[in-house]
Structure 1
Amino acid sequence: MRKDWLGVGLATLLLAACSAPEQQQYTAPPQPAYNGPVVEIPGVEPRYEAVDPNTSQDYSVNGKTYRIIKNPANYSEVGLAGWYGDEAQGKRTATGEAFDPDALSAAHPTLPLPSYVRVTNLANGRQIVVRVNDRGPYVPGRIIDLSRAAGDRLNISNNTRVRLDYIAVAPDGSLSGPGTIGTRVAKQSYALPARPDLSGGMTMTGGEAAPSAEADTHPVDNSTLQSGDNIGAPVRSSGFLGAPQP
């Protein structure tokens, strides 16, 4: 009788092992502790967004099952990247948004949607943060499809080796995850013009006349701005990160 129960127990364990969900395998080794400087890189500033429940179910494409990563807090992966642009313009992404080739967005097969990742072009070291709002790609070896704008900034081809590092955003806006190590998204800042001299240039008692602001200021043409670093890829349009001009 004891042998019979032992056999039943072994059979139960085998069935449980066969029915366990397949674990996601990452190809990037964990990053070591980092105590160096923090570098500013271009991209989308991560903000808290609730996960879209309509995109959180496992699914199959071309006979292959894709299992959504439930806890991507330590997600990093290395593989090939591609990009897509005008051919998808106007179509809906997996989150229901209209695809915009000029937005810094991406498609990933298994990350929660929407989410944020830092993408590093391993060929030239350029980095950018993108918002993942679509599913795909479904090409062997390719782990992400970038929008045309993101691909331009990273200077990638359709088979460029990249590293993905996830950025987790808490409800209070705090960031964590491997995508925050050593970098942060550069924020746009515009210096205010000098305060005008309301005294008319007259000398005040106990001091000198304030300098005229008009003599030290001049209009700036954003199209002449240049970027001399090697962090982000060159921006084709004028202005910082292709911002619309006034």
Structure 2
Amino acid sequence: MDLKYSTKILLVLTGLTVCLAVPICDRDKKNSPQEEVNFKLSISSRRNDTGNWITQVQVDKGESKQPSRERDLTVDVKQTTTTCNCTSEVLLVEAEIISPPLKPGEDYTLLSDLGYYKLYTTPKSWSQANSICNKDGAHLIILNSEKEAQAVNQMFRGLSKSSDMTSKDHLFAGFHDQLHEGHFITIYGEALETTGYTKWSDPSEPNNKNGDANCGSVHFNGGLSDVPCSWKLAFVCEQELWE
């Protein structure tokens, strides 16, 4: 999904230069990688000799934390004139900055109409798995539909339990209730109910077994489960489809 940032600025009569330094978080309501994109937006407007408004927009990107995964930016500018309180002429400038999504990381597989996925079979704790996905420009998987759950279910096939793997019946997923017991949120701080998929693996779930099951997982039957964050599990990283 493209990352978009829009700003509307009123420039009155004589012309004005506006400079904004804007940090924006690359994610949409559904899910996308948590990556901050920094840039400086400068908008300058003046009248030319014929009385028409001329607007110039300049975008300067800040330094990227991951230069090898740096994004390109495109800018779309619209300007109109109107009146303020029926007396003063006002110039309205709207600048939209669009950043295309990152290309999928190495060894990510495209699943039709769903997104890009990578199964990591080396067991990690929940926080370690989350960090690895973020470094990929992806995120721990968040299920949004039964179709996606079925696709993930196929990833369990051939998954063998290693000596350091707590369970081969679960994969870590991008939700938890570490902040408030029983209130599950995604890695983006949104209620689990907003994902569109809240099917649990068993009627007893979530059960906070042993009092420390605070991190989310996907069970091999496609349902959700809460497990200890310290468990060592395989996990799936997800990256959204390009629009």
Q: Do Structure 1 and Structure 2 share a fold, with TM-score over 0.5?
A: no
Structure of greater Rg: 1
TM range (shorter): under 0.3
